[in-house]
Amino acid sequence: MTPPTAIPVGAPPGQDAVGELAAHVTGAVLTPGDEGFAAEAAGFNLRSRHRPALIVAAESAADVQAAVRFAAAHGMPLGVLATGHQPFPARDGFLLLTTRAMRGVRIDAGRRVARVAAGAVWSDVVGPAQAAGLAPLNGSSPRVGVVGFTLGGGHSPFLGRSVGWAADHVVSIEAVTADGTLHQVTAESDPELFWGLRGGRSNFGVVTALEIELFPLTSFYGGGIYHPAERTEEVLRAFTEVVPGAPDDFTCSVALLNMPPLPEIPEPFRGRALVHLRVAGLGTDEETERLIAPFRAIGPGLVDTVARHPYEAFAAVHADPDQPAPYEERSTLLAELPAEAVERLLECARRGAGGPVTVLELRHFGGALNRTPAHAAPVAAREAAFSLWGATVGPPEAVAAGYDSLSEVMERLSPWSTGRTYTNFTAREDRAEDVFTPAELDRLRALKRLHDPANLFRVNNHTIAPR
Ligand SMILES: Cc1cc2nc3c(=O)[nH]c(=O)nc-3n(C[C@H](O)[C@H](O)[C@H](O)COP(=O)(O)OP(=O)(O)OC[C@H]3O[C@@H](n4cnc5c(N)ncnc54)[C@H](O)[C@@H]3O)c2cc1C
* 300-to-40, 231, 232, 362 alpha-carbon distances in Å: 45, 11, 14, 21
Tell me the CA–centroid distance for residue 147 and ligand 1, in Å.
7
Tell me the CA–centroid distance for residue 151 and ligand 1, in Å.
8
Tell me the CA–centroid distance for residue 85 and ligand 1, in Å.
6
Residue type, 190: D
Mutational pocket test of ligand 1: of 40, 50, 64, 149, the residue with most ligand atoms within 8 Å of the beta carbon: 149
Task: Calculate mean pLDDT across residues 218-227.
Answer: 98
Q: In whole angstroms, what is the distance from residue 66 CA to residue 184 CA? A: 17
- Looking from the CA of residue 88, the nearest atom of ligand 1 is 49
Task: Calculate mean pLDDT across residues 231-235.
Answer: 97
**Per-residue confidence (pLDDT) for residue 50, from 0 to 100:** 84
Q: Which residues line ligand 1 (CB under 6 A)?
A: 43, 80-86, 88, 99, 118, 139-141, 144-145, 147-149, 151-155, 157, 201-202, 206-207, 320, 424, 460
**Per-residue confidence (pLDDT) for residue 4, from 0 to 100:** 35
Q: Choose between 396 and 48: higher pLDDT.
A: 396
Residue 3 has pLDDT above 60, yes or no: no
Tell me the CA–centroid distance for residue 435 and ligand 1, in Å.
15
Mean of all residue pLDDT scores within the chain: 94
Confidence of residue 301 (pLDDT cuts 50, 70, 90): very high
Topology at the third CATH level for domain 105-216+432-451: 3.30.465
Task: Calculate mean pLDDT across residues 216-240.
Answer: 98
- For ligand 1, atom 2, which residue shows the shortest CA distance? 141
Residue 10 has pLDDT above 70, yes or no: no
- Looking from the CA of residue 84, the nearest atom of ligand 1 is 29
Tell me the CA–centroid distance for residue 107 and ligand 1, in Å.
22
Residue 74 has pLDDT above 60, yes or no: yes
Tell me the CA–centroid distance for residue 63 and ligand 1, in Å.
22
178-209 burial string, b = 16+ CB within 10 Å, else e?
bebebbebbeeebeebbbbbbbbbbbbbbbbb
Tell me the CA–centroid distance for residue 26 and ligand 1, in Å.
25
- Looking from the CA of residue 166, the nearest atom of ligand 1 is 11
Instruction: Judge contact between 230 and 272, C-beta under 8 A.
Output: no
- Looking from the CA of residue 80, the nearest atom of ligand 1 is 46
**Per-residue confidence (pLDDT) for residue 155, from 0 to 100:** 98
- Looking from the CA of residue 197, the nearest atom of ligand 1 is 43
Residue 250 has pLDDT above 90, yes or no: yes
Residue 114 has pLDDT above 90, yes or no: yes
Residue 88 has pLDDT above 80, yes or no: no
CA dihedral 7, 8, 9, 13 (to 10 degrees): 150
- For ligand 1, atom 51, which residue shows the shortest CA distance? 85
The domains of the chain are located at 7-98, 105-216+432-451, 219-425
Confidence of residue 11 (pLDDT cuts 50, 70, 90): low
**Per-residue confidence (pLDDT) for residue 104, from 0 to 100:** 98
Secondary element (H or E) of residue 81 = strand 78-81
Secondary element (H or E) of residue 287 = helix 285-291
**Per-residue confidence (pLDDT) for residue 8, from 0 to 100:** 39
Q: If we measure between CA atoms, which residue out of 244, 267, 270, 250 comes closest to residue 259? A: 270
Tell me the CA–centroid distance for residue 146 and ligand 1, in Å.
7
Mutational pocket test of ligand 1: of 424, 426, 462, the residue with most ligand atoms within 8 Å of the beta carbon: 424
Residue 77 has pLDDT above 60, yes or no: yes
Residue 430 has pLDDT above 60, yes or no: yes
- Looking from the CA of residue 152, the nearest atom of ligand 1 is 21
Q: In whole angstroms, what is the distance from residue 166 CA to residue 156 CA? A: 7
Residue 1 has pLDDT above 80, yes or no: no
Per residue in 20-30, pLDDT (tens digit) is 999 999 999 99
Helix axes 438-451, 191-200, angle to 10 degrees: 110
Residue 123 has pLDDT above 90, yes or no: yes
Residue 295 has pLDDT above 60, yes or no: yes
- For ligand 1, atom 1, which residue shows the shortest CA distance? 320
Per residue in 133-187, pLDDT (tens digit) is 999 999 999 999 999 999 999 999 999 999 999 999 999 999 999 999 999 999 9
Q: If we measure between CA atoms, which residue out of 433, 429, 401, 403 comes closest to residue 419? A: 433
SS3 content of the chain, % helix, strand, coil (to 5): 35, 25, 40
Per residue in 317-359, pLDDT (tens digit) is 999 999 999 999 999 999 999 999 999 999 999 999 999 999 9
**Per-residue confidence (pLDDT) for residue 347, from 0 to 100:** 96
- For ligand 1, atom 53, which residue shows the shortest CA distance? 85
Mutational pocket test of ligand 1: of 59, 144, 318, 464, the residue with most ligand atoms within 8 Å of the beta carbon: 144
Q: In whole angstroms, what is the distance from residue 257 CA to residue 402 CA? A: 13
Tell me the CA–centroid distance for residue 148 and ligand 1, in Å.
4
Q: How many CB atoms within 10 Å of residue 125?
A: 23
Tell me the CA–centroid distance for residue 43 and ligand 1, in Å.
11
Count Cα atoms within 13 angstroms, Cβ side, for 241. Answer: 15
Burial class (CB in 10 A: 0-12, 13-18, 19+), 324: middle
Q: In whole angstroms, what is the distance from residue 122 CA to residue 120 CA? A: 7
Topology at the third CATH level for domain 7-98: 3.30.43
Instruction: Give long-range contacts, CB 8 A cutoff, 24+ apart: 15-22.
Output: 17/70, 17/74, 18/54, 21/54, 21/56, 21/66, 21/67, 21/70
Residue 53 has pLDDT above 60, yes or no: yes
Instruction: Judge contact between 197 and 205, C-beta under 8 A.
Output: yes
**Architecture of the domain made up of 219-425:** 3-Layer(aba) Sandwich (3.40)
